[in-house]
Amino acid sequence: MTDELSSEDAKLVTLARGARGRIGAPEGAAIRDEMGRTYSGATIHTASLQLTAFELAVAQAIAAGATGIECAVVVGESDSPDFNCVTDIGGAGVPVLLCAADGSVRLRLTT
């Protein structure tokens, strides 16, 4: 990870890497809601269920009562993940960090 990450953003990278690694998914994601709570998820592709890592993390946040997102992280190879589910709850202006498998930040975007 780079030194330029805050400790809270570094935590999101760690959570996203862990979610991805547990099941060997192509992507992991983590978000921090408006209360500072964190949620993570990994890409799921089965015969009957297909969720992006973002969708799973956001769904968990919504189920927990979150009404906003402070920051989001995706670990994997995508350079253009679908931010729709993030903007649904977080609106515009949410910082998104796209990270390599080793946790290094490849790209910083804003929804």
Question: Which pLDDT score, from 0 to 100, does residue 1 have?
Answer: 43
pLDDT reading at 105 higher than 50: yes
Element (H, E) at 54: helix 53-63
C-alpha 19/C-alpha 39 separation (Å) is: 10
- CATH class, range 7-110: alpha beta
Contact of 52 with 96, CB cutoff 8 Å: no
pLDDT reading at 23 higher than 80: yes
Contact of 51 with 44, CB cutoff 8 Å: yes
Question: What pLDDT band is residue 102 in, cutting at 50, 70 and 90?
Answer: very high
Q: What are 39-95's pLDDT values in tens digits?
A: 999 999 999 999 999 999 999 999 999 999 999 999 998 777 778 888 888 888 999
Q: Where are the domains of the chain?
A: 7-110
pLDDT reading at 2 higher than 50: no
